[in-house]
A and B are shown apart, each in its own frame.
Chain A
């Protein structure tokens, strides 16, 4: 695989250091900062477009006017109560999945190590469906079920791969097995459901932002506020893990501890995202890799993965509402189609690179 050199003499420096008093210092890569800023701007633009999209179309300028309070009550309701939470849920789900995917890929040292490939997303769905079908629970308990299902799957996969240290293909292969088993369980649960429950349960088969409101937004925001900074601080340790357990340990890292904390954070983020929107597939798989190709970072670039994830989900939601004139697709269908193409390309590239 040919790639451009990571940095060239005399061009933009690969890293700049900010020195603070008290011998403190911070280091950042200008290229990464540019990528994150560009993706954040793109996401903002997409959110403005999403706020104008729906039964009553509004241009971006009209949207800004509505947000400033110059609007009819109908417009206010449409934008503030229907579209705003929906768009923000899309942003948070994308960021959560992007950062969780980057952590998973780092831990498994494999670009295929993404929660929707290795079963954690399916586990969340199993949890949610169990609550819907067997207990007829409301939205709050369904979300709790999704989180519990994701965590249980994470724990099971971790235990099954513990010997040999949950690394590389072992994690991916065990995860793929878990994903297949759980998908079958999800199908079975739906066949056991009554008509009403089945209709509610179907929502959990394809992720969507349709009808998401503030009741989904706030818990998701709380989860992100807690887990995103926690995972961000694991960034350097995750980079260490990519050098193999022995080198990581020789450099003063604790591989088992790094894996356990990073996986727990990532499983929780995935579960929170799935509880809010259902399984929005392939974002966690593609966002970190796309971000990495833009930033050309060598370690996991968690902020860029989060920004890329948010851009992808908002773009997917916009596309889902515009792709077909008569029908509104679920966003998960769009990410599924694009992600499938990406996965084919990835497998091809990995084969060519001799890693598969």
Chain B
């Protein structure tokens, strides 16, 4: 994936703020078509806020967010929801809902007062559950499931929404390492096999380096670097973005960059 691929989703010179505190000013970020874009950065760098703006959860106080050239704030809510999906960081499952019912909720933007459950709905929900490997859980209650299973179900719901673009806000938080990899492998498969454009906020830089085709590194509301992880991840960049002295080596599994934080003794030498 080259950075020059046409952008599907663009934040164009946006200023993002909560009330009076400005998170980012004049920020421009483009999500290339069919990319797996990952946004990284230290805590409070504005990465989740940027994702919220890209998914119209937060309206920029200045600038525009464009989806295929159209400003998203002008699109009707349901129409937009058929093109752009979002999995929030901590989604809430209604009390006592079953897995099958929850995944079916993903069909809401395709339904209407007199179109409550089409054959298409049925087919897409079945496929979404198969793609995420939760078919056997269909009758179970969501609140009985483990964190990893629950995250798969939320992804299934987002898949049932049938959007070409899917945004995920820290999809691996609260999961153990095996389940983190499990979820990321699932995302990579959705990206490669189904040609969806994915955008995710991730905490773990090494996960980002391994899975992203396009990486956006943020610090204090500014893009420090963006591009293919192999092209942009260097020890200098990591130090710049995270203030973390480190070495960057080649991941023996995938050949992607692997960030190894400096040992404490060395860090002390550097800062001293």
Interface 9-residue window, one of A84-92, A151-159, A235-243, A261-269: A235-243
Collect the chain B residues with CB atoms within 8 Å of residue A240's CB: 105, 108
Collect the chain B residues with CB atoms within 8 Å of residue A246's CB: 57, 86, 88, 91
- Asked if A298 is at the interface (CB within 8 A of a chain B CB), the reply is yes
Q: Is the CB of A27 within 8 A of B86?
A: no
- Asked if A72 is at the interface (CB within 8 A of a chain B CB), the reply is no
Q: Is the CB of A243 within 8 A of B94?
A: yes
Q: Is the CB of A252 within 8 A of B81?
A: yes
| Given known A-B contacts A236-B111, A251-B161, A253-B77, A244 and B118 have beta carbons under 8 A apart | no
Q: Is the CB of B105 within 8 A of A251?
A: yes
Q: Which residue of A lies closest to B19 (CB)?
A: A163
Interface 9-residue window, one of B95-103, B206-214, B243-251: B95-103
- Asked if A3 is at the interface (CB within 8 A of a chain B CB), the reply is yes
| Given known A-B contacts A240-B108, A251-B161, A25 and B57 have beta carbons under 8 A apart | no
Interface centre among B94, B98, B101, B111 (most CB of A within 10 A): B94
Q: Is the CB of B82 within 8 A of A252?
A: yes
The residues in B between 99 and 145 inclusive whose CB is less than 8 angstroms from any CB of A are 100-101, 105-106, 108-109, 111, 113-119, 139, 141
Q: Is the CB of B77 within 8 A of A247?
A: no
B99 → A minimal CB distance (Å): 10
The residues in B between 67 and 91 inclusive whose CB is less than 8 angstroms from any CB of A are 77-82, 85-88, 91
Residues of B within 8 A of A (CB): 55-57, 77-82, 85-88, 91-98, 100-101, 105-106, 108-109, 111, 113-119, 139, 141, 158, 161
Collect the chain A residues with CB atoms within 8 Å of residue B87's CB: 250
B191 → A minimal CB distance (Å): 19
A5-B139, A26-B117 given. 19 additional CB < 8 A pairs? A3-B96, A6-B139, A9-B139, A14-B98, A14-B101, A17-B116, A17-B117, A20-B114, A27-B117, A239-B105, A242-B94, A242-B95, A243-B105, A246-B57, A246-B86, A249-B56, A250-B86, A251-B106, A252-B79
Collect the chain A residues with CB atoms within 8 Å of residue B141's CB: 5-6
Residues of A within 8 A of B (CB): 3, 5-9, 14-15, 17, 19-20, 23-27, 233, 236, 239-240, 242-244, 246-247, 249-254, 296, 298-299
Q: List 12 A-B contacts (CB under 8 A).
A: A5-B139, A6-B141, A14-B98, A14-B100, A27-B117, A242-B94, A243-B91, A249-B57, A249-B86, A252-B78, A252-B82, A298-B97
A-B contact count (CB 8 A): 99
Partner of A24, one of B79, B94, B106, B115: B115
Q: Is the CB of A7 within 8 A of B98?
A: yes
Collect the chain A residues with CB atoms within 8 Å of residue B113's CB: 233
Report how far A199 CA is from B88 CA in the complex, Å: 56
| Given known A-B contacts A246-B88, A246-B91, A250-B55, A23 and B118 have beta carbons under 8 A apart | yes
Collect the chain B residues with CB atoms within 8 Å of residue A25's CB: 114-118
Report how far A7 CA is from B96 CA in the complex, Å: 11
| Given known A-B contacts A5-B139, A7-B98, A252 and B92 have beta carbons under 8 A apart | no
Q: Which residue of B lies closest to A16 (CB)?
A: B117
Collect the chain B residues with CB atoms within 8 Å of residue A296's CB: 96
Report how far A101 CA is from B78 CA in the complex, Å: 27
Interface centre among B80, B98, B117 (most CB of A within 10 A): B117
Report how far A246 CA is from B88 CA in the complex, Å: 6
Q: Which residue of A lies closest to B120 (CB)?
A: A23
Q: Which residue of A lies closest to B169 (CB)?
A: A246
Q: Is the CB of A247 within 8 A of B91?
A: yes
Q: Which residue of B lies closest to A8 (CB)?
A: B139
Q: Is the CB of A252 within 8 A of B57?
A: no
Collect the chain A residues with CB atoms within 8 Å of residue B106's CB: 251
Interface centre among B79, B97, B111 (most CB of A within 10 A): B97
Q: Which residue of B lies closest to A17 (CB)?
A: B117
Q: Is the CB of B101 within 8 A of A251?
A: no
Partner of B81, one of A24, A27, A251: A251
